[in-house]
Amino acid sequence: MSRQPLLRRVDYIPGITFFKPAGVPLAQLKETRISIEEAEAIRLKDLEGLDQEKCAQKMNISRPTFARILLSGRQKTADALLNGKAIRIEGGNYELSKRSFRCGNGHEWEVPFEEMVKAPPELCPTCSTPDIMTVRPWRPGPGSGRRLRGRRNW
């Protein structure tokens, strides 16, 4: 057994997480799974064009670890493109660097992860309503709790 990997810090979760080749019947469709941190590594390096040192810093991991995650993400992407597989982006070991919130009156704001752990927001900073919710699904961690009053199922 390997030890528990550290959480990789991620700024962004893609809005679309499933890609399917056209014209392949579902029964014949093979799927490759890309983790959220692999997608983030590809985003930082190949889309934002940052150097590996900067990417590793942003994800709060060592440069060799970043290189390994990037390579794995690229190999899976290449495999899907060239071998006609579907891609599903999900899972992994990550924490979001910020969380987005929205109140019932439509105000949105972001809270950095560090602040989130210490004191999750309870009121909208603009209109002070306690009717707030996270915009993106979040992964409950130890001590973070789900102390959002007036949560709704959207």
Closer by beta carbon to Zn ion, 78 or else 135? 135
Q: Residue 116: CB partners within 8 Å, gap ≥ 6?
A: 99, 144
What is the Cα–Cα distance from 96 to 94, expressed in whole angstroms? 7
| Tokens (6 digits) for 65 | 């670890």
Residue among 112 and 130 whose Cβ is closer to Zn ion: 130
**Closer by beta carbon to Zn ion, 139 or else 151:** 151
Residues in contact with Zn ion by the rule CB under 5 A: 103, 105, 107, 124, 126-127
Distance of closest approach, residue 52 Cβ to Zn ion, in angstroms? 40
Q: Which residue has the tokens 């990789």?
A: 8
| Number of residue whose CB is nearest Zn ion | 124
User: What gap in Å lies between CA 97 and CA 117, rounded to an integer?
Assistant: 11
CA distances from 98 to 26, 39, 115, 120, 133 (A): 36, 17, 9, 12, 14
CB of 124 to Zn ion, least distance (A): 3
Q: Toward Zn ion, which CB reaches closer, 23 or 106?
A: 106
Shortest CB 98 distance to Zn ion, Å: 18
Distances (CA, A) of 96 to 27, 100, 101, 111: 35, 10, 13, 10
8 Å CB contact between 34 and 73: yes
* Amino acid letter, residue 84: G
The nearest distance, CB 108 to Zn ion, in angstroms, is 9
Q: How far is the CB of 109 from Zn ion (least distance, A)?
A: 9
